[in-house]
Structure 1
Amino acid sequence: MTTLEKEQNFLLEQSKRGSLLEKETLSNIYVLKFGGTSLGTAQAIEETIGFINYHHREGRGIVVVVSAVSGITNELVSINEAVKSSNRERAGETFESIVRKHLDIIHGFSINEVGRISLERELESLFCELYSHIIENRSFSTEQEDKTLSFGERLSARIVKAKLRESMRSCVVDSLEIIETDDNFLNASVDNEATKLKAKGKIIPLLKKGVTPVVTGFIGATKEGRPTTLGRNSSDYSATLLGSSLGAREVWICKDPKGIYFSDPKSNPNAELILYISQEELLCHLQRAGDQVLCLKALQPILDTDIVLRVRSVHNYDDLGTTITR
């Protein structure tokens, strides 16, 4: 075999390996969504990071979706209300509370000094942007309200990313860049095709490079880049929407409860956990009984697909919780 033939065979083999790696990446995507209580304290974030690390070591291509820190969205709503009622003092006090809560979290967990300084600078930049947004407007339109609300997830995503970087390569992907919506501010509708193209174009290359993206839930943007929100409690919907857009194998909604129950475990200590349920059966269950663990809207993007949805506890790495399939 000539030298040229050897080089050609080597390049062909490398190309085959690259194609296999790409196929493996595309077929092994897991979207993990974490709510506010999983991010509400330094200890909770440490536990959440441990959960992600455990499953990352299993060889999964993980996309993390985060809500705002527990209670922060309500405080941002309070800022909107204060500005609209010209109560600048209350808006300022609430802003200070938001700053304090986030700084308490990052000062409460262990992180290397370089990572801490970088994170503090990122948060400071967002705090300044939020403060300027508050003081520059005498009243808020719904568009300006949505801009206020977008800060919760943007702040929490940077905290999770910074902590993840101690164990893996990670970066923040603002859903402003990948979830395209109309301009129905406070309850925007998603352009699914545009979102699919943007999400794949942004996230797939990161996964191929071994980078774990941390995506902001709840928010999107118009075609022109104006921030929107998808309706209250829609971070779960953001996760299933991304799962559908990326062709994920599974989407996990990671919460405090073990999964979905036949009845409310808070009022019924003997409530039975639903281990397996079809999409259609769950749809009927949610329409009939309602459920605080999973909102009905979150099912929409994955209906009639083969994507497995799991509602599971962040406190148990191996317990699969409730599994929802077609």
Structure 2
Amino acid sequence: MPVLVMKFGGTSVANLDRIRRVAKRIGVEVAKGYDVIVIVSAMSGKTNELVGWVGETSPLYDAREYDAVVSSGENVTAGLMALTLQEMEIPARSWQGWQVPVKTSSAHSAARILDIPPENIMAKFAEGMRVAVVAGFQGVSPEGRITTLGRGGSDTTAVAFAAAMGAERCDIYTDVDGVYTTDPRISPKARKLDRIAYEEMLELASLGAKVLQTRSVELAMRFNVKLRVLSSFEEQSDDAGTLVCAEEEIMESKVVTGVAYSRDEAKMTLMSVADQPGIAAAIFGPLSEAGVNVDMIIQNISEDGRTDMTFSCPTEQVARAENALKKAVEAGNIDYGHLVADTNVAKISAVGIGMRSQSGVAAKMFRTLSDEGINIKVIATSEIKISVLIDRKYMELAVQALHDAFDLDKAG
């Protein structure tokens, strides 16, 4: 029988009533003739509670025991879901990561999936099991210890299973009914997309859209897994939600597909840096080692052998960046006048595969912001993306203006 992967997040399985509702939805797919692999998250709020308990017990905790504790939330959901399906007379059983096994690296709390051998689950399907309920977010290390995959790990688990089992599709059930042209909370004109290309979804996810975890989209693109994002709280039709697929399967021809934003950005500028070979490596090497996620980078024109270097990073990483640069100065690796940090900026991005073949997107974006009196602080571009840093107070205005300028409320 064809295999379908269905993933349900924490809000979808927050209590027994919601678990029963999800089980009925699984039953519909079983009735269509699918063998179903269900990936479940912990009940809403449980993972945070478990993390809190670990912190109270041991502030300097053993990462291996941390994973053992926080992965237990998914185990509870998987068992309850299997029991509910069995009550509906659907042959089902729960699987923990080590039982599959989901083989991962040894990086506790941030492990990467290395392999998912399909033999165990497929053998049970052959024996008559119709639903395998798998605890998401977890696996087993080469040393035989439980590992977790980090935030959004259940999305990654679902896509990895779809790739390993040759699934027809991977359905990601969330509390939204698909991928929108922008955040509907900011622009009431936001429109749900029927389809979106992997590359566009990857850009939107990395730029602030919270619908899918970035690693899961990367994995789907690599193995050409069809992803469908849909709501677990609404009745579904066969064409519900948003399909994330290859560019060749996109029929719409919009130049810009969506507008994303990131509120928690900071702009950092090193003033009067020595302009010489290797200076960029001397600056960004220590930042990388300190775990600072640098995004946009701009170097000003050199004057008298000195230049200014500007970059953006998440607001929460500013102190880490300042400390890393201070240590680099003390070690004699870099020399600059002073550091200016602006933590009141936001990043606005226009994304679309149509940018590859059409010009004028940047000009239109800049003109739109200018007409609204919004000053651009930093610009960065890629083949299918244009991002700018602006004052945070103008963030919502910028999103609405760009959504209107590119007619994103209208279908292609």
Q: TM-score, normalised by structure 2?
A: 0.56
1:238 aligned partner: 157
CA displacement 1:67-114 (0-9 Å, x = unmatched): 0000000000001100114xxxxxxxxxxxxxxxxxxxxxxxxxxxxx
The CA distance in 2 between the partners of 1:79 and 1:285, in whole Å, is 34
Q: Is 2:126 aligned against 1:152?
A: no
**Preserved contact between residue 104 and residue 142 of structure 2 (Cα < 8 Å):** yes
Which residue of structure 1 lines up, in the alignment, with residue 109 of structure 2? 186
8 Å Cα contact 1:51-1:317 kept in structure 2: no
- My pick for the range that moved more, 314-323 or 45-54, is 314-323
Aligned length: 241
Q: Which residue of 2 aligns with 1:175?
A: 97
Aligned structure 1 segments of 4 or more residues deviating by more than 6 angstroms: none
1:54–1:317 contact (8 Å) kept in structure 2? no
For CA contacts below 8 A with separation 6 or more, give which structure has more relative contact order. Answer: 1
Kindly provide the amino acid, as one letter, of the partner of residue 36 in structure 2. Answer: I
CA positional deviation for 1:300: 2.2
- Determine if the alignment matches structure 1 residue 44 to structure 2 residue 7: no
**DSSP-derived class of the 1:303 partner:** helix
Cα deviation for residue 295 of structure 1 reads: 1.1
Equivalent pair of 1:185/1:228 in contact (CA under 8 Å) = yes
Q: Which amino acid aligns with 1:227?
A: I
- Aligned-partner residue type, residue 108 of structure 2: F
Letter in 2 for 1:324: V
Distance in structure 1 (CA, Å) of the matches to 2:136 and 2:223: 21
> How far apart are the structure 2 equivalents of 1:293 and 1:316?
19
| Identical-pair percentage | 30
Per-residue deviation, 1:301: 2.1
1:263-313 CA-to-partner distances (Å, cap 9, x unmatched) read 1122323211111112122223323x4211111111122214342110011
Structure-to-structure mapping, 1:83-232, within 5 angstroms: 83-85=57-59, 140-167=61-88, 168-177=90-99, 178-191=101-114, 195-197=115-117, 200-211=118-129, 212-232=131-151
Secondary structure at 1:30 match in 2: strand
Q: Which residue of 1 aligns with 2:252?
A: none
Distance 2:116 2:162 in 1: 10
Find the aligned partners of 2:9 and 2:134 in 1 and give their Cα distance. 12
In the alignment, which residue of structure 2 is the partner of 1:19? none
Within-5 A mapping of 1:26-105:
28-85=2-59
Q: For 1:306 and 1:187, how far apart are their aligned partners in 2?
A: 24
Q: Which residue of 2 aligns with 1:312?
A: 230
The equivalent residue for 2:212 is 294
- 1:325 corresponds to 2:248: no
Matched residues in 1 for 2:150 and 2:222: separation? 23
Q: Is the 8 A contact 2:180 2:190 kept in 1?
A: yes
- Distance, in Å, in 1 between the alignment partners of 2:160 and 2:152 is 14
Larger Rg: 2
| Residues 112-155 of structure 1, C-alpha deviations (whole Å, 9 max, x = no match) | xxxxxxxxxxxxxxxxxxxxxxxxxxx63111111111110011
Match of 1:8 in 2: none
CA contact (8 A) 1:186 1:231 kept: yes
More strand by share: 2
More helix by share: 1
In structure 1, what is the Cα distance between the partners aligned to 2:157 and 2:9? Answer: 12
